Amino acid sequence: LKAELQKFKNLLSKTADGQEKLIEANIGSPSDVETVIENGGEGVGLFRSEFLYMDNDHFPTEEEQYTAYKQVMDAMKGKLVVIRTLDIGGDKKLSYFEFPHEMNPFLGYRAVRFTLDRKDIFKDQLRALLRASAHGELGIMFPMIATVDEFKRAKAIVEECKEELRKEKIAFNENVQVGMMVEIPAAAVNADKFSKYADFFSIGTNDLIQYSIAADRMSENVSYLYQPLNPAILKLIDLTIKGAHKNNKWVGMCGEMAGDIQALPLLLGMGLDAFSMSATSMLRARALMSKITMKEAEELANKALATDDTPEVIELVDAFLATK
Ligand code: PEP
Ligand code: MG
């Protein structure tokens, strides 16, 4: 089986009828890139920048960050690398910074909410990212965007950093893509509005599911509710993809669901453009994709979107996969 999958290592990700997609990897540190290349990744769909902050005793400097980002850009040799700005708070703490105590940290001061408030910290990261953009194809991505205004404010700070770099005559890519995670239901519902401003979306299902179903992603007690194939989740994904495409923007997914074999035909059918997953899941996904036509995926997705509840979706998908 492993040898069978190896055949897909140097192939493009395509459906049975030749529709091209991207299968990419999620990484947590520059040292993960090797595995991405070994497994034929077509890019990095999510580089979580938290490690730079968490495995440290101070907020990383612009220079420290630039070195780490450049390392990934260089290794990926011009393939798209999406780096997410700091997603701290919630359950992710820092030894050298005390977050305010909150009743519901997952609904509180975290991610872009924190960096918009701490422009000094945000700018160090954005300048490092812009400088790294000179070394390949970079996408800058903001986590936990809830309103269009937040996106605009974050984007304005990118523009401010660009202006500084221009004045300092430091190289960066003027056309660097600036996008956002869709992991808050409000952003999924209004995706067609956000896509007027964002260059791309990446759907973060890990959080999108927890916030939509009000079920903590870490809680065993309510794990029965945490179902990616819940038709309500499928509807939010469908809205997000349609909302992106309405303004000709591409949309990926970097939550766990992107690497889920049961979800793959549905995501294809809804029109997802890029699938970012753990590096070791990529070849299996590429192999399955090669057996599915867009037409049958679309039919399956439409049926799934019309179901009443998760078990019906699972039944549809399993029957479909049994024919592959
Ligand atoms: C997500 O929420 O789906 C996601 C990819 O981000 P994280 O798992 O880091 O919250
Ligand atoms: Mg998330």
What is the spatial distance between Cα 13 and Cα 40, in angstroms, rounded to a whole number?
Answer: 10
The whole-number average pLDDT for the span 193-201 is 98
- Which ligand minimizes its atom distance to the CA of 145? 2
- Report the atom number in ligand 1 closest to the C-alpha of 143: 6
Residue 28 has what DSSP assignment? S
Q: What is the pLDDT of residues 70-90, one digit of tens each?
A: 999 999 999 999 999 999 988
Output the pLDDT for position 2.
Answer: 80
Nearest alpha-carbon partner for 263 in 288, 243, 244, 239: 288
Whole-structure pTM value: 0.98
**Structure tokens given for 48:** 């979580």
Ligand 1 pocket test, pick from 82, 84, 207, 226 with the greatest ligand atom count within 8 Å of Cβ, gives 207
How far CA 225 is from CA of 21, 85, 134, 216, 311, in Å, comes to 30, 29, 44, 9, 12
Q: What is the pLDDT of residues 124-140, one digit of tens each?
A: 999 999 999 999 999 99
Judge whether residue 190 has pLDDT over 80: yes
Judge whether residue 207 has pLDDT over 90: yes
What is the spatial distance between Cα 123 and Cα 144, in angstroms, rounded to a whole number?
Answer: 18
Ligand 1 pocket test, pick from 206, 208, 278 with the greatest ligand atom count within 8 Å of Cβ, gives 206
Output the pLDDT for position 242.
Answer: 98
Output the pLDDT for position 3.
Answer: 84
Task: List the single range of 85-94, 146-155, 234-243, 267-276 with lowest mean pLDDT.
Answer: 85-94
- Distant-in-sequence, close-in-space partners of 109: CB < 8 Å, separation ≥ 6: 89, 99, 100, 102, 117
207 annotated among ligand-binding-site residues = yes
Question: Strand 20-27 vs strand 44-48: parallel, antiparallel, or unpaired?
Answer: parallel
Nearest alpha-carbon partner for 102 in 112, 115, 91: 91
Output the pLDDT for position 262.
Answer: 98
Task: List the single range of 61-75, 92-106, 167-181 with lowest mean pLDDT.
Answer: 92-106
Q: Output the DSSP codes for 119-172.
A: HHHHHHHHHHHHHHGGGSEEEEEESS--SHHHHHHHHHHHHHHHHHHHHTT---
- Which ligand minimizes its atom distance to the CA of 205? 1
The whole-number average pLDDT for the span 253-266 is 98
Mind telling me the catalytic residues? 254
127 annotated among ligand-binding-site residues = no
Output the pLDDT for position 91.
Answer: 79
Output the pLDDT for position 90.
Answer: 83
Distance of CA 74 to the CA centre of its chain: 21
Pocket of ligand 1 (CB under 6 A): 46, 48, 87, 183, 204-207, 254-255
Largest CA distance in the chain: 60
Output the pLDDT for position 4.
Answer: 87
Judge whether residue 1 has pLDDT over 80: no
The whole-number average pLDDT for the span 201-221 is 96
Separation of CA 7 and ligand 1 centre (Å):
30
Taking the CA atoms of the chain, what radius of gyration do you get in angstroms?
Answer: 19
The whole-number average pLDDT for the span 98-122 is 96
Separation of CA 78 and ligand 1 centre (Å):
25
Query: Which residues fall inside 5 Å of ion ligand 2, going by CB?
Result: 183, 204, 207
Ligand 1 pocket test, pick from 181, 209, 267 with the greatest ligand atom count within 8 Å of Cβ, gives 181
Q: Bridge-partner residues for 44, per DSSP?
A: 25, 81
48 annotated among ligand-binding-site residues = yes
Q: What percent of the chain has pLDDT over 90?
A: 97
- Report the atom number in ligand 1 closest to the C-alpha of 207: 2
**Structure tokens given for 214:** 């009000």
Output the pLDDT for position 32.
Answer: 97
H runs (alpha helix) in the chain: 2-6, 33-38, 50-54, 62-76, 111-117, 119-132, 148-167, 185-189, 191-194, 205-213, 231-246, 264-270, 282-289, 294-305, 310-322
Whether residue 202 contacts residue 141, with contact meaning beta carbons closer than 8 Å, is answered with: yes
Atom 8 (ligand 1) nearest CA: 206
Output the pLDDT for position 291.
Answer: 98
- Report the atom number in ligand 1 closest to the C-alpha of 90: 10
